[in-house]
Structure 1
Amino acid sequence: MRKLTYFIATSVDGFIGDPDGDGNFFITHFLDPEYTQRMCAEYPETVPTHVREHLGLADAAPRHFDAVLMGRGTYDVGFKEGVTSPYGHLEQYVVSRSLTESPDPAVELIGGDVVARVRELKEREGLGIWLCGGADLAGQLVDEIDEFVVKTYPCFLGTGMPMSRAGFGVRPLELTKVETFDGGQIISTYARKDSTG
């Protein structure tokens, strides 16, 4: 059974973007060669298709995920720049109640019961499913997330878009891995304690 992994960048105080959801400052302020090299080697499939060739990853095989699930706001970041298929090397799903037709044949829209659809996707053969963002979608799927890979960047924002809008609940996790980098980034991997995936 495939796992749903919330693979997300965050500030020390748990924000994944500014109040409008823009998280580009993580890339512009907090990437260094050691960290970038590690991310490209371990998670090459999370690099957008139009950037992969520039980083020497055009032919890099996916290691963890072969599908990506995005909320409309996350998808719109690239779409506003003319990128209609941001992860063309993966199965792409966009959850949206407002879009009625996909802007690209490589992108499948999910407009109905996202939990039911994710459960169907998890039953398929393959690698994992990357929950790319954002906070609303993570909130809707919090009970379906099997693993959290949290990339914490050395910054404190004070306010912004939270990691999730799931509402309060004590959801036990098991820390399975921690990596630290000289640039101050920390990658923490957690599994749900009740996960059977």
Structure 2
Amino acid sequence: MRTLVYGMNVSLDGFVAAPGGDLDWSAPSDELFRWWLEQEQAMDLLLYGRRLWEAMSSYWPTGDRRPGATPDEVAFARNWRDTPKAVFSSTLGSVGWNARLVTGDAVAEIARLKEGEGGPMRVGGATLAAAALRAGLVDEYTVVTHPVLLGAGAPFLAPLERRAPLRLTETRTFPGGVVMTRYETRP
């Protein structure tokens, strides 16, 4: 059975994007970017909601060819292109870049993928992750907290109907006061 990981950059007040989708507050240090690269390289499959797909696919297909791209950015772009992806959307007509479009029941498809063979999967995008979270499909949470209060925006976690106890498995501090905490679900 595969592991499903949900992790994103988060403001101290729990948002993954400011109103209007602004992400400037979460610009990573070189050390944090390298850490995210290592996390992505460990994934066998990336699961994206439409909005995150549109953001990632607008930059990373050619991120390694941009002037001034660092070696880590080159590696991230190549890994992004090479890693299989599933994009969950009822409005997109097609996707590219080693991705397949899923237009049906997202929870059923994620559950099917978890039961299959292969390594870990990362779910990206707060809306898609919320559906997986409510269905009890997320095995690990990686919270990269930035020292900023946004006041509003897209929340990292959706409201739950029941308590979900977690076990802290790792913490790490990055430059600029960014703190990563990793949790696993408890049976």
Q: Same fold (TM over 0.5)?
A: yes
Question: What is the deviation of 1:33?
Answer: 3.5
How many aligned positions are there?
169
Q: How does 1:1-197 map to 2 (within 5 A)?
A: 1-27=1-27, 31-40=28-37, 42-43=38-39, 45=40, 62-63=41-42, 65-80=43-58, 83=61, 87-99=80-92, 101-104=93-96, 106-133=98-125, 135-142=126-133, 143-194=136-187
> Is residue 61–residue 97 contact of structure 2 (8 Å, CA) maintained in 1?
no
SS at match of 2:182: strand
Question: What is the deviation of 1:11?
Answer: 0.6
Distance 2:104 2:184 in 1: 27
Instruction: Determine the structure 2 residue equivalent to 1:53.
Output: none
Deviations 1:151-175 (A, max 9, x none): 1111111111101334453211111
Distance 2:96 2:175 in 1: 40
In structure 1, what residue type is equivalent to 2:112? E
> Is residue 140–residue 166 contact of structure 1 (8 Å, CA) maintained in 2?
no
Distance 1:13 1:81, change over 3 A: same
Distance 2:181 2:30 in 1: 19
SS at match of 1:127: coil
Deviations 1:54-106 (A, max 9, x none): xxxxxxxx32x11100100111114456959x72221111110112x323262
> Is residue 87–residue 95 contact of structure 2 (8 Å, CA) maintained in 1?
no
Question: What is the deviation of 1:114?
Answer: 1.1
In structure 1, what residue type is equivalent to 2:142? V
Structure 1: gaps (5+ residues): 46-61
Q: Percent identity?
A: 33
Moved more, 2-11 or 121-130: 121-130
Distance 1:75 1:37, change over 3 A: closer
Distance 1:83 1:39, change over 3 A: closer
Distance 2:24 2:4 in 1: 24
Distance 2:157 2:103 in 1: 20
Distance 1:3 1:76, change over 3 A: same
Distance 1:92 1:22, change over 3 A: farther
Distance 2:22 2:6 in 1: 17
TM-score (norm 2): 0.80
In structure 2, what residue type is equivalent to 1:154? P
SS at match of 2:118: coil
Question: What is the deviation of 1:120?
Answer: 1.5
In structure 2, what residue type is equivalent to 1:91? P
> Is residue 60–residue 81 contact of structure 2 (8 Å, CA) maintained in 1?
no
Distance 1:93 1:22, change over 3 A: farther
Q: CA RMSD in A?
A: 2.2
Which has the larger helix fraction? 2
